[in-house]
């Protein structure tokens, strides 16, 4: 007996140690990147010569960076709006039309998620410039981003719609609400968190998108493209500073996305696995849950 | 049922009528989804037809034509595809891309499985989701920046080299840290390990661990219990992560570009170089061969495609 419990403890220690190492592997590179953005030395490596915010200030004075930042925000905002509108409409049709080909359509619609961004980017480049003779611009970038992000919105919203209790709508209709009123006061409030999560998701994906942008952009630049152009000259603390800010931005938006996901579908439990449900356990503490844990 | 429908159709539009309730009941039974909802397919249909399927079709077309200088001339040929099998560089790069993708996928599963196991078994329930989120967050942040982070560590003037030089362990930067197959593999593993952990966690979380105690009581060693009971029941997660790691890696451009150097060239780099050199038909043929490979994998494993698990 003694021996087994000793072995169990050794196993536990080994696994916990492994877990700690795993998190170290996942986070150390990013943390080091952030650390060296505060280093006084311009070489971007050891030794650490002192703390400075100089590189951050540098970024905000750099006309090119600010311009790229504006472009990135514009592209991400338009992409998020368009992808959300298109994805949500498709999700409604997919979940509610009850077609025999639903599964097939779902596979078709998520295809852009499965095909590497490189292929989408190149196909669009060939299509726009060789085929249509269209000048590349931020507009063509947005088209590429919308193609890539719409399936994500579709999946997020479709999953939430599947969990939707339609009796609420029918009750509203029976009480005399017209379809528009039902949508405005019943459906929209219930699915809004899901739609918002989809929009935020599309926004981050667009903000970070690099390969599709690389091929569909004209003379302008976005933040990831700016980073890429500078990286060719090696690692610098200024790029580290920019990368740190971008990562912080992404993480903030992701946390908001997860929060929104956790707020969905609480009126009637979800049958799906998926992140949203698991997250609900963290953020969306329903009273039922609270009494269970108490 | 038919009479009820007739009755509800007879009710004038607007206002409350008993027929409305009948209609509600019918909808509840799943009889009559509105046709109007089909309009929802129009925007996505137009978007994907115009900017996804047509461009891909154009690529197919171009791959069957010939390049003349920087132009593509509509001169039908299969030469571009024949070159795939005749040119050593294409074959070797394709094989290498497949090999590294496979290696990274296997490594991600080998390292990810114990990690997911650790999360399920050795972390308290209320901490599991926050800790899982710490795994998910890196996965959805920029690939480019995560590759860049490794450049700062492995590079000639990177953290490892500058540290070892400061400690006087070495005098010259170690040449083998970056710009080779090893650095590409390492960075790929870094990029895709979170995904393996997420999917494996979902599978292991559903596993009933009482079976393991039962197996132990019946005299099975932990290893045998794992191989014969746990692994088969978590197969779904293993295959799902296999597909979703192997496939995107085939088209991965950033990592080989930034940490691969000349010896770490993968097929994506080759494709880009072909397009940059205006050899569009050849580039299209190579790119489509990757797309074909992906399609085959997707069709073979279609039962395991739980895309929803991603989000």
pLDDT classification of A268: cutoffs 50, 70, 90: very low
Q: What is the percentage of chain B residues whose pLDDT exceeds 70?
A: 87
**Quick one: CA dihedral A190, A192, A198, A200, positive or negative?**
negative
Interchain contact A85–B (C-beta under 8 A): yes
* Range with the poorest average pLDDT among A103-112, A280-289, B86-95, B194-203: A280-289
Query: Is residue A183 assigned to a domain?
Result: yes
B292: pLDDT strictly greater than 70: yes
Mean pLDDT of the region A230-235: 82
Residues B291, A146: C-beta atoms closer than 8 Å: no
Alpha-carbon gap: A247 to the closest alpha carbon of chain B (Å):
7
Query: Is residue A204 assigned to a domain?
Result: yes
Residues B43, A36: C-beta atoms closer than 8 Å: no
Give CA–CA dist B214/A231, Å, rounded: 55
pLDDT (0 to 100) of residue A4: 61
pLDDT (0 to 100) of residue A275: 54
Size of interface A-B (CB pairs under 8 A): 286
Nearest CA to B139 among B282, B241, B41, B49?
A: B241
pLDDT (0 to 100) of residue B306: 62
B121: pLDDT strictly greater than 50: yes
B8: pLDDT strictly greater than 50: no
Give CA–CA dist A150/A160, Å, rounded: 16
Give CA–CA dist B108/B195, Å, rounded: 9
Mean pLDDT across chain B, nearest whole number? 84
Contact between residue A168 and residue A104 where contact means Cβ atoms under 8 Å apart: no
Residues A152, B52: C-beta atoms closer than 8 Å: no
Residues B251, A126: C-beta atoms closer than 8 Å: no
Q: Which residue of chain A comes nearest to B311, CA vs CA? A: A275
Contact between residue A112 and residue A153 where contact means Cβ atoms under 8 Å apart: no
Q: What is the percentage of chain B residues whose pLDDT exceeds 90?
A: 42
pLDDT classification of B307: cutoffs 50, 70, 90: low
pLDDT (0 to 100) of residue A188: 84
Domain residues for the domain of A234 are 64-293
Query: Is residue A36 assigned to a domain?
Result: no
pLDDT classification of B309: cutoffs 50, 70, 90: low
* Range with the poorest average pLDDT among A38-52, A240-254, B46-60: A38-52
Contact between residue B288 and residue B80 where contact means Cβ atoms under 8 Å apart: no
Number of domains in chain A: 1
Looking at chain B, the domain(s) classified CATH 1.10.3720.10 span 79-310
pLDDT tens digits along B17-41: 444 444 444 444 444 567 788 899 9
Residues A282, B133: C-beta atoms closer than 8 Å: yes
Give CA–CA dist B125/B257, Å, rounded: 41
Hey, which residues 63-82 in chain A have their CB within 8 Å of chain B? Answer: none
Give CA–CA dist B229/A249, Å, rounded: 43
Give CA–CA dist A20/B115, Å, rounded: 9
- Say how far residue B58 (Cα) sits from the centre of its chain: 24
Hey, which residues 127-186 in chain A have their CB within 8 Å of chain B? Answer: 127, 130-131, 143-144, 146-147, 150, 152, 154-156, 159, 166-167, 170, 173-176
Q: Which residue of chain A comes nearest to B117, CA vs CA? A: A15
Query: Is residue A29 assigned to a domain?
Result: no
Residue A238: strand, helix, or coil: helix
Interchain contact A278–B (C-beta under 8 A): yes
Contact between residue B244 and residue B139 where contact means Cβ atoms under 8 Å apart: no
pLDDT (0 to 100) of residue A49: 78
**Quick one: CA dihedral B212, B218, B221, B223, positive or negative?**
negative
Return the number of other C-beta atoms located less than 10 Å from residue B81's C-beta: 17
Q: Which segments of chain A does DSSP mark as H helices, in order? A: 2-35, 54-61, 63-96, 102-109, 111-114, 117-125, 138-162, 167-174, 179-182, 188-208, 211-216, 223-231, 237-262, 274-280, 287-293
Query: Is residue A7 assigned to a domain?
Result: no
pLDDT classification of A283: cutoffs 50, 70, 90: very low
B287: pLDDT strictly greater than 60: yes
Q: Which residues of A touch B308 (CB under 8 A)?
A: 155, 159, 272-274
Nearest CA to B7 among A171, B32, B17?
A: B17
pLDDT (0 to 100) of residue A26: 95
Nearest CA to B295 among A177, A25, A184, A111?
A: A111
Query: Is residue A147 assigned to a domain?
Result: yes
- Say how far residue B236 (Cα) sits from the centre of its chain: 16
Residues A90, B43: C-beta atoms closer than 8 Å: yes
Which residues on neighbouring strands pair with residue B73, listed in sequence order? B66
Residue holding tokens 């509600």? B24
B151 closest CB neighbour out of A176, A235, A274? A235
Interface test mutation site (partner B, options A20, A29, A240, max chain B beta carbons within 10 A): A29
Structure-model confidence comparison of residues A191 and A289, the more confident one: A191
> Which residues, 6+ apart, have CB-to-CB distance to B140 below 8 Å?
A204, A205, A250, A254
Which residues on neighbouring strands pair with residue B68, listed in sequence order? B71
Residues B130, A282: C-beta atoms closer than 8 Å: yes
Residues A235, B155: C-beta atoms closer than 8 Å: yes
* Range with the poorest average pLDDT among A36-45, B44-53, B284-293: A36-45
Taking CA atoms, B251 is separated from B5, B108, B118, in Å, by: 54, 18, 31
pLDDT classification of A287: cutoffs 50, 70, 90: very low
The separation between the first and the last C-alpha atoms of chain B, rounded to the nearest angstrom, is 41
Indicate the CATH number of B79-310 among 1.10.10.10, 3.30.379.10, 1.10.3720.10, 3.30.565.10.
1.10.3720.10
Query: Is residue A24 assigned to a domain?
Result: no
Which helix H or strand E contains B191, and what residues bound it?
Answer: helix B181-206
CATH number at residue A227: 1.10.3720.10
Mean pLDDT of the region A147-169: 88
A265: pLDDT strictly greater than 80: no
Give the Cα-Cα-Cα angle B196, B197, B200 (nearest 5 degrees).
80
Nearest CA to A276 among A152, A182, A116?
A: A152
pLDDT (0 to 100) of residue B13: 42
A294: pLDDT strictly greater than 70: no
Interchain contact A289–B (C-beta under 8 A): no
- Say how far residue B246 (Cα) sits from the centre of its chain: 7
Answer yes or no: pTM beyond 0.90. Answer: no
pLDDT (0 to 100) of residue A91: 93
Query: Is residue A106 assigned to a domain?
Result: yes
pLDDT (0 to 100) of residue B61: 93
Which helix H or strand E contains B246, and what residues bound it?
Answer: helix B235-250
Which residues on neighbouring strands pair with residue B67, listed in sequence order? B72
Give CA–CA dist B64/B285, Å, rounded: 8
Interface test mutation site (partner B, options A109, A115, A166, max chain B beta carbons within 10 A): A115
Q: What is the CA radius of gyration of chain B?
A: 27
Give CA–CA dist A59/A79, Å, rounded: 25
pLDDT tens digits along B207-238: 999 998 899 889 888 889 999 999 999 998 89
């Amino acid at each position: 007996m003694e021996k087994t419990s000793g072995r169990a403890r050794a196993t536990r220690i080994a696994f916990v140690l492994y877990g700690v190492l795993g998190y170290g592997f996942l986070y150390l590179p990013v943390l080091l990147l952030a650390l060296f953005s505060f280093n006084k030395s311009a070489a971007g490596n050891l030794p650490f010569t002192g703390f400075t915010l100089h590189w951050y200030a540098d970024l905000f004075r750099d006309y090119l960076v600010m311009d790229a930042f504006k472009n990135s925000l514009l592209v991400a905002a338009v992409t998020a709006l368009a992808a959300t509108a298109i994805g949500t409409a498709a999700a409604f049709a997919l979940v509610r039309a009850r077609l025999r080909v639903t599964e097939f359509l779902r596979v078709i619609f998520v295809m852009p998620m499965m095909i590497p961004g490189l292929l989408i980017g190149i196909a669009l480049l060939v299509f726009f410039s060789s085929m249509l003779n269209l000048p590349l611009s931020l507009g063509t970038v947005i088209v590429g981003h919308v193609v890539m992000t719409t399936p994500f919105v579709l999946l997020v919203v479709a999953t939430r719609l599947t969990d939707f209790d339609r009796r609420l709508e029918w009750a509203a209709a029976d009480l005399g609400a017209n379809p528009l009123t039902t949508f405005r006061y019943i459906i929209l409030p219930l699915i809004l968190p899901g739609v918002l999560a989809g929009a935020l998701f599309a926004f981050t994906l667009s903000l970070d998108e690099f390969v599709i942008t690389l091929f569909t952009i004209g003379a302008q630049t976005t933040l990831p493209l700016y980073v890429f152009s500078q990286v060719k000259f090696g690692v610098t603390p200024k790029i580290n500073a920019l990368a740190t800010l971008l990562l912080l931005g992404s993480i903030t938006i992701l946390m908001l996305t997860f929060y929104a996901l956790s707020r969905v579908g609480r009126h009637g439990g979800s049958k799906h696995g998926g992140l949203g449900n698991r997250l609900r356990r963290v953020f969306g503490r329903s009273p039922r849950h609270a009494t269970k844990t108490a | 049922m038919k009479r009820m429908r007739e009755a509800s159709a007879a009710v004038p539009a607007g206002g409350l009528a008993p027929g409305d309730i009948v209609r509600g009941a019918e909808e509840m039974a799943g009889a009559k989804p509105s046709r109007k909802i089909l309009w929802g397919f129009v925007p996505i249909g137009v978007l994907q037809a115009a900017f996804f399927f047509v461009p891909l079709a154009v690529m197919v077309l171009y791959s069957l034509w010939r390049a003349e200088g920087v132009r593509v001339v509509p001169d039908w040929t299969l030469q571009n595809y024949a070159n795939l099998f005749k040119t050593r560089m294409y074959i070797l790069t394709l094989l290498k891309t497949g090999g590294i993708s496979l290696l990274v996928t296997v490594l991600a599963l080998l390292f990810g499985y114990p990690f997911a196991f650790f999360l399920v078994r050795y972390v308290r329930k209320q901490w599991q989701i926050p800790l899982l989120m710490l795994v998910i967050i890196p996965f959805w942040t920029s690939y480019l920046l995560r590759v860049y982070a490794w450049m700062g560590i492995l590079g000639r003037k990177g953290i490892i080299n500058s540290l070892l030089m400061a400690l006087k362990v070495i005098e010259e930067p170690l040449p083998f840290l970056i710009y080779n197959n090893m650095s590409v593999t390492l960075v790929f593993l870094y990029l895709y390990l979170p995904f393996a952990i997420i999917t494996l966690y979902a599978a292991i979380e559903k596993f009933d661990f009482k079976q393991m105690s039962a197996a132990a009581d019946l005299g099975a060693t932990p290893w045998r219990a794992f191989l014969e009971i746990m692994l088969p029941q978590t197969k779904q997660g293993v295959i799902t992560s296999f597909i979703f790691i192997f496939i995107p890696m085939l088209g991965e451009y950033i990592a080989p570009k930034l940490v691969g150097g000349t010896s770490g060239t993968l097929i994506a780099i080759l494709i880009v170089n072909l397009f940059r050199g205006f050899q569009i038909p050849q580039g299209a043929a190579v790119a489509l061969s990757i797309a074909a490979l992906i399609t085959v994998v997707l069709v073979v494993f279609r039962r395991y495609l739980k895309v929803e698990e991603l989000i």
